[in-house]
Chain A
Amino acid sequence: MYKKTLLEQFLYISEKRAQAIVLRNQTDQISYAQLRAKVLAVAGFFKKIGINPGDRVALAVENSMDYVVAFYAVWMAGGVTVALNPQAKLYEIKNVLQHCVAKFLLIDKQNEANVKLLTELDVRLVTLFDNDLEDVYHWQHALECKPDNNWRDIKESSLAQIIYTSGTTGNPKGVMLSHSNLMCNVKDIIGYLKLTRKDSVLNVLPFHYCYGNSVLHSHVCVGASVVLANTMAFPQDTLEIIRQLSVTGFSGVPSTYSLFLTHSDWADNPPRLRYLTQAGGPMGKNLTEKLVKACDSSTKIFVMYGQTEATARICWLPPDLLHKKLGSVGISVASSKLEIRNLQGQKLAPYQVGEICINGPSVMQGYWGNPTATSQALVGGWLKTGDLGYLDDDGFLFIKGRNSDMIKVGAHRINPMELEEVINQLTFVRESAVFGVEDEVFGQKLRALVVINEASGNLMQLKKHCREYLPAHKIPKEITTVTLLPKTASGKIKRHQLIELLPD
């Protein structure tokens, strides 16, 4: 039996599992009791500095123990968390802060160089690093604050978190999730993964995305432990952590597994894990089969499908059916219903391809400050995912593509229009188009086509500009100049034809 919200569940489990380790990395660890004490202190601090129920508090903090402390403390003060990519460029952070009218922003070392510029914004800053700036709150003071045991009464229907899936265009999409959304989805996940307090998951997924967010909360909810490793850049190192810290579970996207299989000794010496989960884009049949072969026979592999707009998880494939239903992302989570619909919104029969639609308690409240996008995505209580697929006779979902133009690079979901907006800022660029091309390891990689005004600028300048305004994962790997972009009669870029313009 779980409490009504993740916060209440955390407060309950942190007493019950006081001495157990909740978070660890290679050098440090923290028990539930220690985490609870820090959360209570920081919650006291947050209330003192004026975080009130419903206030948005942005966290531009990498996966860390401090991130988790801050996250629960915001909820204790009644606030709404808005987790951002700490590597996002200043203008992206600024856009999101302005869009959700954030009252506070927490930053870590990664934004130390931007601290002065951030103080000029209409937001109060809390820094996780020391500095002597005035009007900036310091994390150390927060941790030293008197613990506050009283959490503000939060309704299950209250807004808990906003996750931005697209932040920098004129059409920002901040997915609004209630406390109830989060709890329902986490309960579904715990149910099919059969998570218990004995589990220990290694997490390399960013907490600011819904997948990482769900890994964190589903494990904390049952009193399990989460091992933090923040990059997959060195797969062998990550695998060693799995072995050294007796991890029982691992969550990744297809590229994570591809990296393990090609750049570590996973296949020669498979780690003894109870479960692996895969989401964040379809994993090809070949890679799935290779992964199965490379895993210990006792390891259960969960192929999953989800979307931020449905909190995180929509479908899961029971591991025992992985071979029988290869290529499927499984059945809907226990609390949700799934339908395939045509353009008119009518339910389709098995094997007919249409839009995947979801109904249930995990469906978001809407997009923050964007009623138009909300009314397009939510129709009669059903979420239109924008993904295409079909159900077989047994109700197993097979994904057949996407309606939208979002590009998936590793764990990142990238809106090409955000990048085009940045590229088009340069005066010598007439127009541009960004799209994804297939990549063996990362699923897709970014390519850009640009039309430039008569030799007035060069590609190096353009790449430098991208570097200045975009984080590493959003910079197109190759930029090619063209004389014209293919367009429809109404002037929209024909994205499916862009690949044909690439040189051989």
Chain B
Amino acid sequence: MDKVIASDEQLLRNFILENYLFTNDQSKLENADSFLGSGILDSMGILELVYFLDDEMSIKVESSEMVPKNLDSIDNLLKFIDLKKNLIPGL
């Protein structure tokens, strides 16, 4: 289980680092950093993140789930993904 979470984390971190911070330097992104608050993503970026979750991680984000609590940081994303996976076994 730990291994799976670590791999999700790396996937998400790389997506943000490479596409929005344009670096491979892992120290540039803290897992608690708010994407909107720190100007990493804007509303278009959040939408791209939603598409990424669907396309690359098979996580479908429902309208009601598109809230900061689920999407606004790596930490929030990991909790959200964990929740989704528990709700839909085998995801």
- Is residue A392 contacting chain B, with contact meaning CB distance below 8 A? no
Question: B39 to chain A: which residues have CB within 8 Å?
Answer: 87, 110, 471-472
Q: Which of A234, A445, A460, A471 has the most CB of B within 10 A?
A: A234
- Is residue A141 contacting chain B, with contact meaning CB distance below 8 A? no
Question: B43 to chain A: which residues have CB within 8 Å?
Answer: 231-233, 255, 259, 410
**A302 vs B42: C-alpha distance in the bound complex, in angstroms?**
27
B interface, by DSSP: helix, strand, loop or mixed?
A: helix
B 27-56 contacts with A by CB, 8 A: 36, 39-47, 50
**A466 vs B39: C-alpha distance in the bound complex, in angstroms?**
14
- Is residue A263 contacting chain B, with contact meaning CB distance below 8 A? yes
Are A473 and B44 neighbours in the complex by a CB distance under 8 Å?
A: yes
Question: A424 to chain B: which residues have CB within 8 Å?
Answer: none
Are A263 and B45 neighbours in the complex by a CB distance under 8 Å?
A: no
- Is residue B20 contacting chain A, with contact meaning CB distance below 8 A? yes
CB distance from B81 to the nearest CB of A (A): 17
- Is residue B5 contacting chain A, with contact meaning CB distance below 8 A? no
**A265 vs B67: C-alpha distance in the bound complex, in angstroms?**
13
Question: A442 to chain B: which residues have CB within 8 Å?
Answer: 44
Contact of A410 among B21, B44, B71 (CB under 8 A): B44
Contact of A472 among B41, B64, B67, B71 (CB under 8 A): B41
Question: A464 to chain B: which residues have CB within 8 Å?
Answer: 22-23
**A140 vs B68: C-alpha distance in the bound complex, in angstroms?**
30
**A442 vs B47: C-alpha distance in the bound complex, in angstroms?**
10
A 434-484 contacts with B by CB, 8 A: 441-442, 445, 460, 463-464, 466-467, 471-473, 477
Question: B36 to chain A: which residues have CB within 8 Å?
Answer: 231, 233
- Is residue B83 contacting chain A, with contact meaning CB distance below 8 A? no
CB distance from B29 to the nearest CB of A (A): 13
Total interface residues on A, CB under 8 Å, equals 29
- Is residue B6 contacting chain A, with contact meaning CB distance below 8 A? no
Are A236 and B66 neighbours in the complex by a CB distance under 8 Å?
A: yes
Question: B42 to chain A: which residues have CB within 8 Å?
Answer: 231, 233, 472-473
Are A441 and B47 neighbours in the complex by a CB distance under 8 Å?
A: yes
Contact with A along B49-83 (1 / 0, CB 8 A): 01000000000000110111001000000000000
Question: B50 to chain A: which residues have CB within 8 Å?
Answer: 263
Question: A236 to chain B: which residues have CB within 8 Å?
Answer: 63-64, 66-67
- Closest B-chain residue to A409, C-beta based? B44
* Residues A234 and B21 in contact in the complex (CB < 8 Å), given A87-B39, A263-B66: no
Question: B45 to chain A: which residues have CB within 8 Å?
Answer: 233, 472
CB distance from B66 to the nearest CB of A (A): 5
Question: A87 to chain B: which residues have CB within 8 Å?
Answer: 39
CB distance from A217 to the nearest CB of B (A): 24
CB distance from A212 to the nearest CB of B (A): 15
Q: Which of A233, A236, A264 has the most CB of B within 10 A?
A: A233
- Closest A-chain residue to B44, C-beta based? A442
Question: B20 to chain A: which residues have CB within 8 Å?
Answer: 467, 472
- Is residue A235 contacting chain B, with contact meaning CB distance below 8 A? yes
CB distance from B42 to the nearest CB of A (A): 4
Nearest 4 interchain pairs by C-beta: A463-B22, A233-B43, A464-B22, A233-B46
Beyond A233-B43, A235-B63, A477-B44, 8 additional pairs, beta carbon < 8 A = A233-B41, A233-B42, A234-B46, A234-B66, A236-B66, A259-B47, A441-B47, A464-B22
Q: Which residues of B contact A (CB under 8 A)?
A: 20-23, 36, 39-47, 50, 63-64, 66-68, 71
Q: Which residues of A contact B (CB under 8 A)?
A: 87, 110, 231-237, 255, 259, 262-265, 409-410, 441-442, 445, 460, 463-464, 466-467, 471-473, 477
Instruction: Jot down 22 A-B pairs with beta carbons below 8 A, ordered by A.
Output: A110-B39, A231-B36, A231-B43, A233-B36, A233-B42, A234-B66, A234-B68, A235-B63, A235-B66, A262-B63, A263-B47, A263-B63, A265-B64, A410-B44, A441-B47, A442-B44, A464-B22, A467-B20, A467-B22, A471-B39, A472-B20, A472-B41
